[in-house]
């Protein structure tokens, strides 16, 4: 795929008007330009129209488009950088930490499942308290459209608690979306049916075909789990159809065979929704040998992207969540993901509640220093979070020396706080996310400019008009 | 998700037309139709004639002139058409 040229243009007055143009990046390919500003807006223009912005020939129609797309402002004094406002604090995604017990011992586990002293699960009373807390919160904000993720350990070790949670919320007039990520070992046909009837979404962890998966996803005895997981996935597909997603952790074990892993998921298993996440260092498991260097992540990112394109060319429908999400970031600005849409929204658009009712900004419930409050004492969640944002180290701005000139800064904002927390060396930004963004976003823009039909395929619908 | 929003490439021919912003979100609930922009704090809720608005947004995803939008709104909202059009354009729902 051809690249496109990129130039950075500092903001300034639009000649012949009383308006000001933001700082922006201009990507050019053929007769098309793509403008990108610091707030992540894009504007696609034919080159001859785009040039009118800088040669005093801009029309009122184009000026209106620039204003509405927020590329231009009436006054130079407007905050052009789109600094995040506290009004962005409105959690709508809730992880409920049911248990840190697990029936597996994955080599890269991020949870502290070794701490036997606190190895108990959430109580029924706490589930009820959480339901009441969430109901009151939704009443306070006037919005019931929340998503709940019962979490673990292995959440299906506490299936009854998941149902209790759902029933408790229903009793209080709520019907949130509930989604679980599971190792699938406990997914009997009966349980699958009940989850389906209750409308609970399932994501299954599978790291590839047997050799790869069994090298890192094992039970306590060290025996691999691939055979069981594959059978479960096929059973889920019979019930849920295509409405099942998988999560694949990419480690050093999987690097050489990345394309084969994706082929296995999309073709052998016929999965449509897959997600490949790079392993990051765990504070609890000894997984340094599985972690990848930045150059390896850069290379793997492009390989995943190219493999997905190749599958589409062969007529195979598959969507890799991270690629899909970043494409959506560019084309719609929709903050579809609390982690990867425009930086970390832990403690702002998502929180986690543990078995003691303690509130955390995200899945850091094993780190007591990250505790923000408790549902029993902090009834006003938004006030709690607003105070925390100003005080806690978790929320410290993540910015390196190169971020100011980086076109992807809006989408990245330094990446994942948890990744940085567990890294071996102190970092200004999450180097995993930074590396992915610096390598993937330029490819996505090239696709938008050179081959819009293929971008439409990546997303699964015609967001870019076909060229006549 | 509203799978009909589009990112158009503007040229001298279509730059004068109005389009549904690719940055909108549209959520239909029992209460009504919530419409807003991802980059804006404002959110509008339409409680009546929800289907009319949804059809309008579909048409706008392909582009309409100002006159076409106005005529469409006038059919359903008569004297309120101007107000609604201003709201949609001022709110960045229609670009």
Question: pTM to 2 decimals?
Answer: 0.93
Q: What is the mean pLDDT of residues A241-265?
A: 97
Q: How far is B2 from chain A (nearest CA, A)?
A: 10
Residue A316 pLDDT > 90: yes
In angstroms, the separation between the Cα of residue B57 and the nearest Cα of chain A is 14
3-state secondary structure of A183: coil
pLDDT for res B30: 82
pLDDT at A456: 95
Restricting to A residues 40-99, those with a Cβ less than 8 Å away from any Cβ of B are 40-46, 48-49, 59, 61-62, 64-65, 68-70, 82, 85, 87
Residue A255 pLDDT exceeds 90:
yes
Residue A3: is its pLDDT beyond 50?
yes
Residue A438: the pLDDT is 95
- At A337 the pLDDT is 86
Q: What is the DSSP string of chain B?
A: --TT--BPEE-TTTTTSB-B-TTEEEEE-SS-EEEEETT-S-EEEE-S-HHHHHHHHHHHTT-B-HHHHHHHHHHHHGGGHHHHHHHHHHTTSB-
Q: Is A392 exposed, middle or buried, given 0-12, 13-18 or 19+ CB atoms closer than 10 A? A: middle
Flag if B10 and A45 touch (Cβ within 8 Å): yes
pLDDT at A78: 57
- Tell me, what's the ipTM? 0.94
Contact assignment for A65 to B10 by CB distance below 8 Å = yes
CA angle A41, B22, A310 (to 5 degrees): 85
Which residues from chain B sit within 8 angstroms of residue A85, using beta carbons? 41
**Which residue, among A4, A43, A334, would best test binding to B if mutated, counting the most B CBs under 10 Å from its CB?**
A334
For A42, the 3-state DSSP assignment is: strand
Locate tokens 């929709």: which residue?
A: A334
Which residues of B are less than 8 Å from A70 in CB distance?
39
Secondary structure, 3-state, A309-337 = HHHHHCCCCCEEHHHHHHHHHHHHCCCCC
The reported pLDDT for the residue numbered A90 is 92
**Beta-strand relationship, A201-205 and A245-250:** parallel
Q: Which tokens in the block code for residue A35?
A: 């403008």
Q: Is the pLDDT of residue A119 over 60?
A: yes
- Helices A452-459, A321-332: axis angle to 10 degrees equals 120
Q: Do A44 and B12 touch (CB under 8 A)?
A: no
Percent of the residues in chain A that have a pLDDT greater than 90, as a whole number:
81
pLDDT at A284: 84
Residue A114 has pLDDT above 70, yes or no: no
Q: What is the pLDDT of residue A463?
A: 94
Among candidates A164, A180, A84, which has minimal Cα distance to A131? A164
In angstroms, how far is the first alpha carbon of chain B from the final one? 20
User: What is the bridge-based pairing of β-strands A20-21 and A201-205?
Assistant: unpaired
Q: What is the pLDDT of residue B41?
A: 76
Is the pLDDT at B1 greater than 60, yes or no? no
What is the token pair recorded at A121? 């699960």
Q: How would residue A130 be classed by pLDDT, with cut points 50, 70 and 90?
A: very high
Q: How confident is the model at residue B2 (pLDDT cuts 50, 70, 90)?
A: low
* Cα–Cα distance for residue pair B39/B28, rounded to 1 Å: 19
Segment A218-235 shows an average pLDDT of 96
For A72-77, what is the mean pLDDT?
Answer: 76
Tens of pLDDT, residues A393-413? 999 999 999 999 999 999 999
State the DSSP code for A70: T
Q: With bands split at pLDDT 50, 70 and 90, how would you rate the model's confidence at A77?
A: low
pLDDT, tens digit, 9 for 90 and up, residues A357-371 = 999 999 999 999 999
d(CA A320, CA A305): 8
Distance CA(A448)–CA(A455), nearest Å, equals 6
Check whether A340 has a pLDDT greater than 50: yes
Least confident of A75-84, A131-140, A331-340: A75-84
- Are A444 and A302 contacting, i.e. CB atoms less than 8 angstroms apart? no
For residue A388, the number of C-alpha atoms closer than 13 Å in the C-beta half-sphere is 23
Partners of A94 in the beta sheet?
A: A148, A351
Better pLDDT: B5 or A446:
A446
With a cut of 90, say whether residue A111 has pLDDT above it: no
Write out pLDDT tens, residues A154-183: 999 999 999 999 999 999 999 999 999 999
- Note whether B9 contacts A465, CB cutoff 8 Å: yes
Banded pLDDT at A129 (limits 50, 70, 90): very high
The pLDDT, as a whole number, for residue A81 is: 53
B7 contacts on A by Cβ (under 8 Å): 42, 44, 331-332, 448, 463-464
Mean pLDDT of chain A: 92
The proportion of chain A whose per-residue pLDDT surpasses 70, expressed as a percent, equals 95
Give the pLDDT confidence score for residue A288 in this predicted structure: 87
């Amino acid at each position: 795929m051809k690249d496109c040229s990129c130039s950075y243009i500092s903001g300034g007055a639009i000649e012949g008007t009383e308006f000001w143009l933001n700082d922006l990046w201009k990507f050019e390919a053929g007769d098309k330009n793509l403008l990108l500003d610091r707030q992540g807006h894009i504007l696609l223009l034919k080159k001859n129209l785009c040039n009118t912005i800088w040669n005093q020939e801009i029309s009122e129609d184009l000026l209106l488009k620039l204003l509405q797309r927020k590329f231009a402002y009436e006054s130079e004094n407007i905050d052009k950088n789109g600094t995040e406002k506290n009004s962005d604090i409105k959690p709508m995604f809730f992880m409920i930490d049911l248990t840190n017990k697990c029936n597996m011992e994955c080599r890269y586990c991020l949870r502290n499942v070794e701490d036997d002293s606190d190895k108990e699960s959430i109580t029924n009373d706490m589930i009820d308290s959480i339901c009441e807390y969430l109901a009151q919160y939704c009443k306070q904000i006037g919005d019931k459209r929340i998503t709940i993720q019962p979490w673990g350990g292995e959440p299906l070790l506490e299936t009854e608690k998941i149902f209790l949670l759902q029933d408790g919320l229903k009793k209080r007039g709520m019907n949130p979306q509930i989604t679980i990520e599971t190792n699938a070992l406990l997914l009997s046909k009966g349980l699958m049916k009940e989850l389906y009837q209750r409308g609970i979404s399932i994501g299954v962890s599978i790291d590839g075909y047997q050799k790869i998966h069994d090298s890192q996803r094992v039970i306590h005895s060290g025996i691999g789990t691939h055979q069981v997981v594959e059978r479960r996935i096929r059973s889920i597909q019979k019930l849920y159809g295509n409405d099942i997603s998988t999560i694949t952790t990419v480690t050093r074990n999987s690097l050489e065979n990345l394309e084969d892993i994706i082929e296995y998921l999309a073709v052998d298993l016929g999965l449509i929704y897959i997600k490949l996440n790079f392993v990051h260092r765990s504070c609890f498991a000894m997984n340094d040998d599985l972690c990848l260097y930045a150059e390896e992540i850069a290379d793997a990112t492009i390989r995943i992207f190219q493999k997905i394109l190749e599958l589409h060319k062969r007529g195979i429908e598959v969507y890799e969540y991270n690629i899909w999400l970043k494409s959506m970031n560019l084309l719609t600005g929709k903050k579809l993901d609390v982690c990867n849409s425009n930086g970390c929204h832990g403690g702002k658009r998502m929180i986690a509640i543990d078995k003691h009712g303690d509130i955390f900004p995200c899945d850091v419930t094993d780190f007591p220093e990250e505790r923000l409050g408790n549902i029993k004492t902090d009834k006003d969640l938004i006030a709690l979070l607003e105070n925390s944002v100003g005080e806690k180290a978790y929320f410290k701005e993540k910015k390196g020396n190169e971020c100011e000139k980086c076109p992807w800064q809006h989408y990245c904002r330094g990446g994942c706080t948890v990744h940085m927390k567990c890294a071996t060396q102190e970092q200004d930004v999450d180097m995993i996310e930074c590396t992915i963004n610096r390598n993937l976003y330029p490819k996505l823009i090239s696709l938008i400019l050179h081959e819009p039909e293929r971008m439409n395929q990546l997303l699964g619908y015609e967001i870019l008009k076909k060229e006549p | 998700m509203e799978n009909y929003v589009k990112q158009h490439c503007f040229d001298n021919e279509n730059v004068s037309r109005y389009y549904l912003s690719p940055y909108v979100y549209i959520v239909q609930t029992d209460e009504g139709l919530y419409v807003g922009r991802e980059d804006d704090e404002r959110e509008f809720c339409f409680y009546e004639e929800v289907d009319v608005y949804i059809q309008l947004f579909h048409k706008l995803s392909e582009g309409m002139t100002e006159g076409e939008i106005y005529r469409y709104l006038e059919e359903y909202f008569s004297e309120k058409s101007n107000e609604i059009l201003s709201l949609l354009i001022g709110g960045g729902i229609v670009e």
